[in-house]
A and B are shown apart, each in its own frame.
Chain A
Amino acid sequence: AQKVTQAQTEISVVEKEDVTLDCVYETRDTTYYLFWYKQPPSGELVFLIRRNSFDEQNEISGRYSWNFQKSTSSFNFTITASQVVDSAVYFCALIPNQAGTALIFGKGTTLSVSS
């Protein structure tokens, strides 16, 4: 089965706290791509990152970092020193094989950051 699981439905933090959003994926393919998208209150989804299955290097972009571990089929997303503007729904997604193009999304995690 090709599937993405985001076990955390909602997370609430206070500004400046660090927060990690979990993502676990399932696929039998050896080549696949993982993504994170953000859906702010305005509604449109915004691409954050793409990672292919052969690249397990962690990535950092400003306050955002991603930890990809094939051994546990996880692709977790950490926001450091969270801000109110980080409040959004975050989706993890998978393209399960080299030929596919359609994203399989998880159910999303709603992050609320209060001041």
Chain B
Amino acid sequence: DSGVTQTPKHLITATGQRVTLRCSPRSGDLSVYWYQQSLDQGLQFLIQYYNGEERAKGNILERFSAQQFPDLHSELNLSSLELGDSALYFCASSVELAGRGTGELFFGEGSRLTVL
């Protein structure tokens, strides 16, 4: 058990809909990362938050957004869903050294999104 909790584990929805994925990081970790894993794209970095503020952005679509709340949990919002958004979405949290990530990430079990 990594200590990172993601909900829901599975989600099935229709095209055009909006969903919210939730992540609780490990106790004490200030950084939260979101990754998307799909068969064709592999593991793609979406976005990182550190102590409530956006720190880095990757290949995140404009239809997607995220935030990190004062209690450090994070939410990833996916809107106007398309078939191609079907994927496993991972949240990870990390140990920080002097305010920088070490790359040693603790991953949740992921939220599997199926768009029909």
Contact = CB atoms under 8 A, between A and B. Distances in A.
A68 B105 CA distance: 21
A95 B103 contact: yes
Contacts of A101: 31, 48, 55-56, 94, 100-101, 103
Interface stretch (B11-19, B21-29, B107-115): B107-115
B90 to A, nearest CB: 7
Contacts of B45: 102-104
Interface in A56-115: 91, 93, 95, 100-108
Interface string A28-51: 000001010100001111110010
Contacts of A106: 42
A100 B31 CA distance: 13
Interface in B29-51: 31, 33, 42-43, 45, 48
Contacts of B109: 42-44
A107 B42 CA distance: 5
A52 B55 CA distance: 22
- Could you say which of B56, B92, B104, B106 has the most chain A C-beta atoms within 10 Å of its C-beta? B104
A46 B107 CA distance: 7
Contact of B42 (A37, A45, A47, A105): A105
Interface of B: 2, 4, 31, 33, 42-43, 45, 48, 55-56, 58, 88, 90, 92, 94, 100-110
